[in-house]
Amino acid sequence: MNRTKLNDVFLIDEELLKNYSNMSRNVGVDKVIPYINLAQPMYVEPVLGTALMEELQMQIDSGEVSEANQALLLKIAPALALWTDYLAARRYSYTVTQKGITKEKSENSESLNEKELGYFIHSIREDAENATELLIKYLCRCRDSYPLWRPDNECDCAKYVPTEGSSEAPLTTLMYFPSGRISGCPDCRKK
């Protein structure tokens, strides 16, 4: 399968997208597809690496997703949904047409002002970063199940997997205070 065809395979379905994002149930998935197209390669693929990303897309396309990859897709869903939401949040109420950019209005709701929108978008970004961190933590802990996992940036799995490295910190400093005063400390006296 060529890479162009794989770019059309998303790691999330409509139900998971709406479960993990702020999108209303009545938002048409066609309005969100452009943002999934951006979020998946920008935020998820660097964590997964190209090899694992392509394996997931090929399995989804064939309809035969392994048990381990099904579990991984459920861990990817919150991060991908939130990054999609983050990218789309500023643009939900705007439409680009031949005549220009228009803003949609509703009779039953009020749009956020710029400050409220900024806070809203910032909170989505924080949630997306936390979900991405949880995804990395899962991959670190289940590294043996994903031999194709080669993230673009080296992940520091030592902070997630207690078995990596030593559980005891080595003694690096030893201080000895002779009886009497401590050198350089005139107010320190022997008890």
pLDDT digits (tens, 9 = 90+) for 120-159: 889 999 999 999 999 999 999 999 999 999 887 777 787 7
Residue 47 belongs to some domain of the structure: yes
Residue 122 belongs to some domain of the structure: yes
pLDDT of residue 190: 46
Which residue, 82, 144, 90, 83, is CA-closest to 117? 90
Cα-to-chain-centroid distance, residue 175: 44
Q: Do residues 83 and 42 touch, judged by C-beta distance below 8 A?
A: yes
Q: Is the pTM of this model over 0.85?
A: no
Residue 121 belongs to some domain of the structure: yes
- Which has the higher per-residue pLDDT, 177 or 113? 113
Domain ranges, residue 122: 3-159
Residue listed under structure tokens 């559980």 = 167
Which tens digits make up the pLDDT trace of 70-112? 999 999 999 999 999 999 887 665 555 666 555 556 666 666 6
Residue 191: band (very low, low, confident or very high) from pLDDT cuts 50, 70, 90: very low
Residue listed under structure tokens 């597809």 = 33
- Which has the higher per-residue pLDDT, 32 or 168? 32
Residue 181 belongs to some domain of the structure: no
Residue 177 belongs to some domain of the structure: no
Q: How many domains does the chain have?
A: 1
Residue 62 belongs to some domain of the structure: yes
Which tens digits make up the pLDDT trace of 52-75? 999 999 999 999 999 999 999 999
Least reliable range by pLDDT among 12-26, 89-103, 123-137, 176-190: 176-190
Cα-to-chain-centroid distance, residue 127: 8
For 82, other C-beta atoms within 10 Å of its C-beta total 25
Burial class (CB in 10 A: 0-12, 13-18, 19+), 79: buried
